[in-house]
Chain A
Amino acid sequence: MDRKFRSGHWDNSTTMLRYLLPIFLALVSLGAHAQFRVEVSGVGMTQVPIAVATFRGDDVAPQKIAAIVSADLERSGQFRNIDTGGVVLDENSRPEISTWRQRSADALVTGSVTRLADGRFDVRVRLWDVVRNQDMGGQSHAVAAHDLRLAAHRIADFVYEKMTGDKGIFSTRIAYITKGKGYTLWVADADGENPQSALTSPEPIISPSWSPNGQQLAYVSFESRKPVVYVHEVASGKRRLVANFKGSNSAPAWSPDSRTLAVTLSRDGGSQLYLMDSAGGEPRRLAQSPSIDTEPTFTADGKTIYFVSDRGGAPQIYRMPASGGNADRVTFSGTYNISPSLSPDGRWLAYVSRVNGAFKLHVMDLASGAANAITDTSADENPSFSPNSRLIIYATQQQGREALMTTTLDGKIKARLAGQGGDIREPDWGSVQR
């Protein structure tokens, strides 16, 4: 219903935008700590123009709800924010629709944030279809002060889903690693804000991977002066050493039911793929090759594993049945294709390819095999899809510093995530909405 709605009207009204691009959209200010820049390039975008009015109470609340919502929507690549001139409209306001039509907004978000007697905050929202002059519904979230950002992300999810028909991803979480004096594994909101330390270690941590149920992270830790694989329960901090065999243990990847991990072990010589129970135990060898086999990742149906192998003389991406068997080569262009990530809808493969000495994020349409580089940076690493398959988070370098970015699949809308200063890498996008 909503989808039809969009394709009918929303797309046409943005036609004019095509001729104004490429442009840089505004520096969206989110308050004292948070600033990110959404970068827009290319042509042919069909973004819904949306106005997010200042919420009543935003001026006294600890978080500016409207600013968080509009930043989320903009980062998604599906929306373009219309300047509201700072007008305050709450969920009970009957907006002057003609005003918003004149500003060429297709939709309007109104709401409020109110401190309750028990100290929590009641965050309310109402979405208006400006084109049809219709109330599209509302929501209310009563949250503690430290969950105001989460409430704002849920509101952004609500708006996103109403307008696009797709699930929003703003209330999901990401994991990433920073390197400072030591190494820290962080769990943060999907916009990089609200980071919470899950693990600090004097030795490197790499390859964090969310369990599909959103409760655990598998990762590779070098704390014992060799790579071993842990599974870490995020809420409790309880850690389980699941792969500590002779040699190197790395590249954990979860099966869709969270029961099985695919890992790379060198215990029998060479880097080879194994499956093991995610609770630990004896690994079963998945394949046997005289070459490097690593970076396994399951398809959403759990039936196939994509991985990297240099069996053809250079690293390329292959796929094989998750029960073992013959591997098919997937990438044919270039001599260095690594770090496969599959979109949950099964349509896309993101990976890093070396092009003229530069490591660039690529996206392949799996149906046709056509692939494109979607960045202009040269040290891209470790892509990971958003749960709704619409965005990719990846690590790169900008001005010599490590950065985390999100991008739409066409590369046209990118945002640098807020986060720690210094070295930041190894993002992984969790699949569970909170």
Chain B
Amino acid sequence: MKKLVSIVALVAMLSACGSAVKLDNVPVEDKSGSSVGAGGASTAGSGSGVGNGGVASVDLGKSAQDMSLQSATRIVYFDYDSFAIRPEFVSVIENHARFIKGDRNRKVVIEGHTDERGGREYNLALGQKRAEAVRRALGVSESQVEAVSFGKEKPAVPGSTEAAMEKNRRAEIVYR
């Protein structure tokens, strides 16, 4: 019981942190007009077209505060090339499922990740499989959960060692 209370407290805390970032609330700075280097080369002789080398620079600024707190209780690890939920994570997922079902207003995002081996887009699809495996295991209302993938773009641990890659094959349960 005490354990469950502490999990609920932790999840509630994550939920509070998570509310800082909304999907539709990312600053997009539009610097249209600050065109660099119009490529106005003219050509005599063989008549190629006039250049259009301008590139306007867009800066999205600083990242919203990263809320991925290091907590083993919201990360599900996977074997290589697998999206099967390992037995030791079943209870973790059940605890989250109870918490999510406890309040219809709770929103959760499952973020799937892979290790660094292989292509970026294919890993994105593999990470999506992991995220969706956790979503299915949660068994909560579709309106409360979104499964997304970061592929190999956001390793938890840098490096190419097997130990690092084990930590990177994961799905994170993130409250928003």
Contact = CB atoms under 8 A, between A and B. Distances in A.
A313 B59 CA distance: 41
Interface string B99-143: 000000000010100000111111011101100100000000000
Contacts of A236: 32-33, 35, 56
Contacts of B30: 237-239
B58 A200 contact: yes
B148 interface: yes
Q: Size band of the A side of the interface?
A: 35 or more
Nearest to B160: A400
Question: Which bracket fits the contact residues of B?
Answer: 35 or more
A381 interface: yes
A147 B153 contact: no
Interface stretch (B1-9, B46-54, B86-94, B162-170): B46-54
A369 to B, nearest CB: 22
B13 interface: no
Interface in A209-242: 214-215, 220, 222-227, 232, 234-239
Q: Could you tell me the dominant secondary structure of chain B's interface residues?
A: loop
B149 A227 contact: yes
A86 B148 CA distance: 58
Interface stretch (A13-21, A56-64, A263-271, A410-418): A263-271
Contacts, number: 208
Contact of A227 (B56, B57, B62, B150): B150
Interface string B26-39: 10101111111101
B154 interface: yes
Interface centre among A271, A294, A352 (most CB of B within 10 A): A271
Given A158-B46, A202-B61, A382-B120, A197 B55 contact: yes
Contact of B132 (A171, A220, A270): A270
A115 interface: no
Given A138-B45, A147-B39, A234-B55, 16 more contacts: A199-B57, A202-B61, A214-B52, A222-B153, A237-B56, A247-B146, A270-B128, A271-B129, A292-B122, A292-B125, A338-B121, A339-B119, A339-B122, A359-B117, A425-B120, A434-B39
A336 interface: yes
B153 to A, nearest CB: 4
A201 B28 CA distance: 10
B128 to A, nearest CB: 5
Interface in B55-79: 55-64
A243 to B, nearest CB: 13
Interface string A303-346: 00000100000010000000000000000000010110000000
Contacts of A138: 45
Interface stretch (A22-30, A149-157, A385-393): A149-157
Contacts of B171: none
A246 to B, nearest CB: 6
Given A139-B44, A139-B46, A238-B30, A315 B122 contact: yes
B147 interface: yes
Nearest to A200: B59
Contacts of B44: 139-142
A112 interface: no
B149 A248 contact: yes
Given A143-B40, A158-B46, A336 B118 contact: yes
B27 to A, nearest CB: 9
Lowest 8 A-B CB distances belong to which pairs? A202-B63, A237-B56, A196-B55, A139-B45, A271-B125, A204-B153, A226-B148, A143-B41
Contacts of B84: none
A248 B124 contact: yes
A141 B122 CA distance: 44
A72 interface: no
B21 interface: yes
A342 B43 CA distance: 32
